[in-house]
Amino acid sequence: METVTLEEFQARCWAQGVPWEHVAFKCPQCGTVQSMASLMLMGCPIPEAESALGVKCEGHYSGSGPFGPIRTLAFVPPRGCKMSLTDPAPVLHSHAGLKVVMGNFSYPLFALATPGEAQVLKAALYAQSSSSEAA
Protein backbone atom coordinates (compact mmCIF):
# COMPACT_ATOMS: atom_id res chain seq x y z
CA MET A 1 0.00 0.00 0.00
CA GLU A 2 1.35 3.39 -0.98
CA THR A 3 1.01 6.31 1.43
CA VAL A 4 0.60 9.82 0.01
CA THR A 5 -0.31 13.23 1.39
CA LEU A 6 -3.58 14.90 0.52
CA GLU A 7 -1.72 17.31 -1.79
CA GLU A 8 -0.03 14.43 -3.67
CA PHE A 9 -3.38 12.67 -3.98
CA GLN A 10 -5.07 15.78 -5.38
CA ALA A 11 -2.21 16.26 -7.87
CA ARG A 12 -2.61 12.67 -9.08
CA CYS A 13 -6.36 13.18 -9.50
CA TRP A 14 -5.78 16.34 -11.59
CA ALA A 15 -3.13 14.48 -13.62
CA GLN A 16 -5.85 12.15 -14.95
CA GLY A 17 -7.06 15.10 -17.04
CA VAL A 18 -10.76 14.54 -16.39
CA PRO A 19 -13.44 16.44 -14.40
CA TRP A 20 -13.90 15.42 -10.75
CA GLU A 21 -16.90 13.16 -11.44
CA HIS A 22 -14.69 11.13 -13.82
CA VAL A 23 -11.60 10.74 -11.60
CA ALA A 24 -11.10 6.98 -11.71
CA PHE A 25 -10.03 4.30 -9.26
CA LYS A 26 -9.35 0.61 -9.87
CA CYS A 27 -10.91 -2.10 -7.71
CA PRO A 28 -8.14 -4.25 -6.19
CA GLN A 29 -10.25 -7.40 -6.35
CA CYS A 30 -11.76 -7.39 -9.85
CA GLY A 31 -9.84 -4.60 -11.60
CA THR A 32 -12.93 -2.61 -12.59
CA VAL A 33 -12.04 1.00 -13.40
CA GLN A 34 -14.72 3.23 -11.92
CA SER A 35 -15.56 6.86 -11.28
CA MET A 36 -18.27 8.77 -9.45
CA ALA A 37 -20.16 9.01 -12.75
CA SER A 38 -19.93 5.26 -13.37
CA LEU A 39 -21.00 4.47 -9.80
CA MET A 40 -24.13 6.59 -10.30
CA LEU A 41 -24.78 4.93 -13.65
CA MET A 42 -24.67 1.54 -11.91
CA GLY A 43 -27.29 2.70 -9.41
CA CYS A 44 -25.36 4.33 -6.58
CA PRO A 45 -27.59 6.97 -4.98
CA ILE A 46 -26.32 10.47 -5.80
CA PRO A 47 -25.81 11.51 -2.14
CA GLU A 48 -23.67 8.40 -1.55
CA ALA A 49 -21.56 8.56 -4.73
CA GLU A 50 -18.78 10.80 -3.45
CA SER A 51 -18.27 8.79 -0.26
CA ALA A 52 -18.37 5.48 -2.17
CA LEU A 53 -15.75 6.60 -4.70
CA GLY A 54 -12.52 4.68 -4.21
CA VAL A 55 -13.85 2.51 -1.37
CA LYS A 56 -16.75 0.49 -2.86
CA CYS A 57 -16.76 -1.37 -6.15
CA GLU A 58 -19.57 -0.87 -8.67
CA GLY A 59 -20.85 -4.40 -7.95
CA HIS A 60 -22.53 -3.07 -4.80
CA TYR A 61 -24.89 -1.15 -7.07
CA SER A 62 -24.86 -2.96 -10.43
CA GLY A 63 -26.26 -6.26 -9.21
CA SER A 64 -23.04 -8.25 -9.55
CA GLY A 65 -22.90 -10.90 -6.88
CA PRO A 66 -25.67 -12.58 -4.87
CA PHE A 67 -28.01 -9.59 -4.56
CA GLY A 68 -30.06 -7.85 -7.23
CA PRO A 69 -29.37 -4.35 -8.49
CA ILE A 70 -30.65 -1.25 -6.73
CA ARG A 71 -31.61 0.16 -10.12
CA THR A 72 -31.91 -1.73 -13.38
CA LEU A 73 -30.74 0.00 -16.53
CA ALA A 74 -31.30 -2.05 -19.67
CA PHE A 75 -28.47 -0.44 -21.63
CA VAL A 76 -25.79 -0.92 -18.95
CA PRO A 77 -24.52 -4.44 -18.19
CA PRO A 78 -23.58 -5.11 -14.54
CA ARG A 79 -19.91 -4.61 -13.72
CA GLY A 80 -17.70 -4.98 -10.71
CA CYS A 81 -17.77 -7.04 -7.54
CA LYS A 82 -18.80 -6.60 -3.90
CA MET A 83 -15.39 -5.34 -2.68
CA SER A 84 -15.63 -2.63 -0.04
CA LEU A 85 -13.05 -1.00 2.18
CA THR A 86 -15.84 0.23 4.46
CA ASP A 87 -16.47 -3.24 5.86
CA PRO A 88 -15.17 -3.57 9.43
CA ALA A 89 -12.89 -6.55 8.69
CA PRO A 90 -9.28 -5.27 8.92
CA VAL A 91 -8.11 -7.76 6.28
CA LEU A 92 -10.06 -5.81 3.64
CA HIS A 93 -8.07 -2.68 4.41
CA SER A 94 -4.93 -4.54 3.36
CA HIS A 95 -6.39 -4.60 -0.17
CA ALA A 96 -6.27 -0.81 -0.36
CA GLY A 97 -3.80 0.38 -2.96
CA LEU A 98 -3.46 3.86 -1.53
CA LYS A 99 -3.53 5.51 1.87
CA VAL A 100 -4.13 9.26 1.87
CA VAL A 101 -2.74 10.99 4.95
CA MET A 102 -4.20 14.28 6.14
CA GLY A 103 -2.95 15.50 9.52
CA ASN A 104 -3.33 12.69 12.06
CA PHE A 105 -5.83 10.75 9.94
CA SER A 106 -5.36 8.32 7.08
CA TYR A 107 -7.92 7.06 4.58
CA PRO A 108 -7.54 3.76 2.69
CA LEU A 109 -8.63 3.93 -0.95
CA PHE A 110 -8.49 1.81 -4.07
CA ALA A 111 -5.49 2.67 -6.24
CA LEU A 112 -6.00 5.52 -8.68
CA ALA A 113 -6.42 4.45 -12.30
CA THR A 114 -3.92 5.67 -14.86
CA PRO A 115 -4.76 8.86 -16.78
CA GLY A 116 -5.38 6.74 -19.89
CA GLU A 117 -7.80 4.43 -18.05
CA ALA A 118 -9.69 7.42 -16.63
CA GLN A 119 -10.03 9.04 -20.05
CA VAL A 120 -11.16 5.78 -21.68
CA LEU A 121 -13.82 5.30 -18.97
CA LYS A 122 -15.06 8.88 -19.41
CA ALA A 123 -15.31 8.40 -23.20
CA ALA A 124 -17.16 5.09 -22.73
CA LEU A 125 -19.65 6.68 -20.34
CA TYR A 126 -20.31 9.52 -22.79
CA ALA A 127 -20.76 7.01 -25.61
CA GLN A 128 -23.22 4.95 -23.52
CA SER A 129 -25.26 7.97 -22.50
CA SER A 130 -25.47 9.35 -26.04
CA SER A 131 -26.43 5.95 -27.50
CA SER A 132 -29.16 5.47 -24.86
CA GLU A 133 -30.58 8.92 -25.61
CA ALA A 134 -30.68 8.13 -29.34
CA ALA A 135 -32.56 4.85 -28.73
pLDDT of residue 44: 86
pLDDT of residue 104: 86
Question: In angstroms, rounded to a whole number, what is the distance separating the alpha carbons of residues 46 and 94?
Answer: 28
By C-alpha distance, which of 85, 50, 79, 46 is closest to 65?
A: 79
pLDDT of residue 68: 47
Q: Annotate 96-110 with three-state secondary structure.
A: CCEEEEECCEEEEEC
pLDDT of residue 131: 59
Query: Is pLDDT of 25 > 80?
Result: yes
pLDDT of residue 30: 87
**C-alpha triplet 27, 28, 34: angle, nearest 5°:** 10
The domain locations on the chain are: 2-134
pLDDT of residue 117: 94
Query: Is pLDDT of 87 > 80?
Result: no
Q: Tell me the pLDDT band of 103, cut-offs 50, 70 and 90.
A: confident
**C-alpha triplet 75, 35, 108: angle, nearest 5°:** 140
- Are 95 and 85 spatial neighbours (Cβ–Cβ below 8 Å)? yes
Whole-model pTM?
A: 0.82
Question: In angstroms, rounded to a whole number, what is the distance separating the alpha carbons of residues 11 and 21?
Answer: 15
Cα distances (angstroms) measured from residue 99 to each of 20, 34, 79, 112: 19, 18, 25, 11
pLDDT of residue 18: 95
pLDDT of residue 130: 63
Range from 85-89, 110-114, 118-122 carrying the lowest mean pLDDT? 85-89
